[in-house]
Amino acid sequence: MKNLIIPENYSSPLTLRETQSAVKYIKDTFQKKLIAGLNLDRITAPLIVFSDSGINDDLNGVERKVSFSMKEIDGTAEVVQSLAKWKRMALHRYGYQNGEGIYTDMNALRRDDDVDNTHSIFVDQWDWERVLTREDRNTDFLKKTVETIAHAVVDTFYEVKAKYPKIQGDFNRDVFFITSQELEDMYPDMTSKERENAITKEHGTVFISQIGSVLKSGKKHDGRAPDYDDWSLNGDLFFWHNALNASLEISSMGIRVDAQSLMKQLEICDATERTKFEYHKMILNDELPLTIGGGIGQSRLCMLMLDKAHIGEVQVSLWPADMVEKCREGNIILL
């Protein structure tokens, strides 16, 4: 509750029924633009994986996974936290080549997330992954991909505005790029979140890159698992969100680790025991394709475009009773 924001005199521009219609329209429209921009095929993806597979996303390495035993299957199953590793294995298994990729509707549970205006224990996003060449493992290629996604977001928004005239506002189509260290140098006395707000308020659309390594201050901008993103070639995409008067992260993405960067990052995190898993062995043996990929929050995209103050206005989840009451008092109606 300490991070809950209740905007003064808040009122949703759309009714509940209009909101449900708009959510579907946004998802349908954006998917088409994403597919066209990145050359992606839609595939099905798992909700659960074996706990000893090494495929589940470990996030910051401390979050508890939702796990359970099964009646007729040996082993323990886990609900996914994301599909960062699974997608790369799928590209290999299905035989995708350079410039080709996949995307899927990813539903996950993150039981240890602190719920607030933008965080829910239920995560729904588009997870995507695309094959690239070793020559494309560079900052320029990353930036071009970020711009493709940002343009798809902005172009979708203007179609939403045309269909639902009560929606107001604008988004900057030009992405401002900055590294996490450059951002810390610019605002050394701020927290990471305060820096994100400051730079996004100034530029509207921002990509903060190189997330995961320790900065000069001795702190990380944000945590990243060591075994999917290359920390020197990743980042988060933010848009300025009027309803909350704050930045809103829409996508986390990056060029994935190769053998060298995987081993380096595992050593930094004292996690070299993960090399026993098939996924990690295949990277170290250069058996998996080099890829770029990420996740794009479906509900966050909807709350951004519909100028909603709480993610619970566009997705159904579970919330603390006092949060539900506080939101109701502030005219924020959770689904």
Tens digit of each residue's pLDDT (9 = 90 or more) over 5-44: 899 999 998 999 999 999 999 999 999 999 999 999 999 9
Whether the predicted pLDDT of 62 surpasses 80: no
CATH code, domain carrying 113: 3.30.930.10
Whether the predicted pLDDT of 148 surpasses 90: yes
| C-beta atoms surrounding 28 within 10 Å | 10
Question: Per the structure, how many domains does the chain have?
Answer: 1
Active site residues: 57, 110, 125, 236, 249, 252
Query: Per-residue confidence at 57, pLDDT binned at 50, 70, 90?
Result: confident
pLDDT (mean) for 90-117: 91
What's residue 110's pLDDT? 85
Query: Residue 301: which domain range?
Result: 16-329
Q: Where are the beta strands (DSSP E) in the chain?
A: 40-42, 48-50, 67-69, 76-79, 101-109, 122-131, 176-179, 205-209, 229-241, 246-256, 291-297
Asked if residue 5 belongs to a domain, the reply is: no
**In sequence order, what are the residues at sequence separation of 6 or more whose Cβ sits closer than 8 angstroms to the Cβ of residue 20?**
none
What's residue 79's pLDDT? 86
Asked if residue 334 belongs to a domain, the reply is: no
Asked if residue 304 belongs to a domain, the reply is: yes
Asked if residue 2 belongs to a domain, the reply is: no
For 255-299, write each residue's pLDDT tens digit. Answer: 999 999 999 999 999 999 999 989 999 999 999 999 999 999 999
Asked if residue 3 belongs to a domain, the reply is: no
Whether the predicted pLDDT of 60 surpasses 70: no
Q: What is the pTM of this model?
A: 0.91
Asked if residue 169 belongs to a domain, the reply is: yes
